[in-house]
């Protein structure tokens, strides 16, 4: 079973910008991660993924193992770049896809470790204003990604009061082949009685996994918070 070839075929689906299949020790697929545009209903996109996998490699995915993150067209296209091809790189690794937009950007991210505990410190800025957020957790890699996201959100709440209603659901880094990795987060915006899922993704570049997680948090929140400010 050539899962790499199946991944290549999945990327040929028009809406798909990145695809990665995770297999167990036996080589059987256990997770399928898709980054796509918003051009198609997620359920239909999952069915397309299943159909292409069967046709391309005889692999029958259970729909429950297929995870889809949908981004707006420009952002999804940016995910497929290893370096900025569109928009303005402001020098800190965060690409502002809207020229002249006054958006929150990242200054720095640091994870320090002591024994089995880790502390993430994230500095964000908007214009001349700079804020720092921190979070604590274990040194496990998956936990580290989450505390970086928590620290980014803590800093964001100092700049954006509306971010007090946002909570981390998941944060992780997914490997797409030998040369490409993507930081992905899902957040919950809770405005009782409603909950809204926000998703963000950012390619891993020179700043490493933690840098990508912070940029994914900003990707998930910048547009939504801007709409909340205007409402």
The verdict on residue 16 lying in a domain is: yes
Domain count along the chain: 2
Spatial distance between the Cα atoms of 15 and 8, rounded to a whole number of angstroms: 14
Spatial distance between the Cα atoms of 94 and 216, rounded to a whole number of angstroms: 10
Q: Tokens 């067209």 belong to which residue?
A: 73
The verdict on residue 95 lying in a domain is: no
Residue where a domain stops, chosen among 49, 71, 93: 71
- Beta strand 29-37 with 66-71 is parallel
Spatial distance between the Cα atoms of 151 and 130, rounded to a whole number of angstroms: 14
Q: Does 42 share its domain with 121? A: no
Q: Does 133 share its domain with 63? A: no
| Contact yes or no for 192/180 (Cβ under 8 A) | no
Spatial distance between the Cα atoms of 224 and 188, rounded to a whole number of angstroms: 12
Residue where a domain stops, chosen among 16, 47, 71: 71
The verdict on residue 77 lying in a domain is: no
Looking at per-residue confidence, does 227 or 158 come out higher?
158
Give the SS3 label for residue 106. Answer: strand
Using CB atoms within 10 A of its CB, is residue 53 exposed (0-12), middle (13-18) or buried (19+)?
Answer: buried
The verdict on residue 82 lying in a domain is: no
Q: How far is CA 23 from CA 65, 71, 138, in A?
A: 11, 25, 26
Q: Does 114 share its domain with 58? A: no
CATH number of the structural domain spanning residue 181: 3.30.160.270
Q: Does 49 share its domain with 144? A: no
pLDDT over 60 at 212, yes or no:
yes
pLDDT over 60 at 229, yes or no:
yes
Q: Does 26 share its domain with 137? A: no
The pLDDT of residue 163 is: 92
CATH number of the structural domain spanning residue 45: 3.30.300.30
Q: Does 112 share its domain with 61? A: no
The two three-digit tokens of residue 202, written as one number? 């950012």
Q: Does 128 share its domain with 203? A: yes
Closest by CA position to 69, among listed 97, 88, 46, 52: 46
The verdict on residue 124 lying in a domain is: yes
Spatial distance between the Cα atoms of 21 and 32, rounded to a whole number of angstroms: 5
pLDDT over 80 at 75, yes or no:
no
**What is the span of the domain harbouring residue 12?**
3-71
Spatial distance between the Cα atoms of 173 and 220, rounded to a whole number of angstroms: 15
The verdict on residue 78 lying in a domain is: no
**pLDDT tens across 96-146, in order?**
333 334 678 888 998 888 888 889 999 999 888 999 999 999 888 778 899
pLDDT over 50 at 89, yes or no:
no
To the question of pTM greater than 0.95 for the whole model, the response is no
Q: Does 193 share its domain with 119? A: yes
The pLDDT of residue 186 is: 94
Q: Does 64 share its domain with 125? A: no
The verdict on residue 90 lying in a domain is: no
Q: Does 67 share its domain with 111? A: no
Q: Does 140 share its domain with 209? A: yes
Q: Does 54 share its domain with 114? A: no
**pLDDT tens across 216-226, in order?**
999 999 878 87
Looking at per-residue confidence, does 209 or 76 come out higher?
209
**Other beta carbons within 10 Å of 144:** 21
The pLDDT of residue 42 is: 81
What pLDDT band is residue 93 in, cutting at 50, 70 and 90? very low
**pLDDT tens across 159-197, in order?**
988 899 999 999 999 887 777 888 999 999 998 888 899
The verdict on residue 136 lying in a domain is: yes
Q: What angle do CA 67, 150, 43 make, to 5 degrees?
A: 15
Mean predicted confidence (pLDDT) in 73-89: 45
Give the SS3 label for residue 136. Answer: strand
């Amino acid at each position: 079973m050539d899962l790499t070839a199946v991944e290549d075929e999945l990327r040929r689906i028009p809406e798909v910008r990145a695809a990665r299949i995770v297999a167990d020790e036996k080589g059987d697929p256990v997770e399928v991660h898709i980054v796509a545009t918003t051009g198609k209903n997620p359920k239909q996109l999952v069915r397309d993924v299943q159909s292409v996998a069967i046709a391309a490699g005889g692999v029958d995915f259970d729909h429950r193992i297929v995870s889809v993150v949908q981004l707006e067209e420009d952002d999804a296209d940016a995910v497929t770049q290893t370096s900025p091809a569109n928009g303005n790189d402001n020098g800190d690794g965060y690409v502002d896809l809207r020229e002249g937009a006054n958006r929150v950007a990242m200054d720095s991210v640091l994870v320090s470790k002591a024994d089995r505990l880790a502390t993430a410190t994230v500095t964000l800025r908007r214009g001349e204003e700079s804020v720092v957020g921190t979070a604590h957790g274990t040194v496990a890699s998956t936990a580290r990604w989450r505390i970086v996201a928590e620290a980014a959100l803590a800093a964001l709440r100092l700049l954006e009061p509306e971010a007090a209603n946002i909570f981390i659901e998941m944060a992780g880094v997914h490997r797409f082949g030998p040369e490409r990795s993507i930081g992905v987060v899902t957040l919950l915006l809770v405005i009782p009685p409603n909950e809204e899922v926000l998703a963000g993704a950012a390619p891993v570049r020179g700043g490493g996994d933690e840098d990508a997680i912070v940029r994914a948090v900003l990707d998930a929140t910048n547009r939504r918070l801007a709409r909340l400010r205007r409402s």
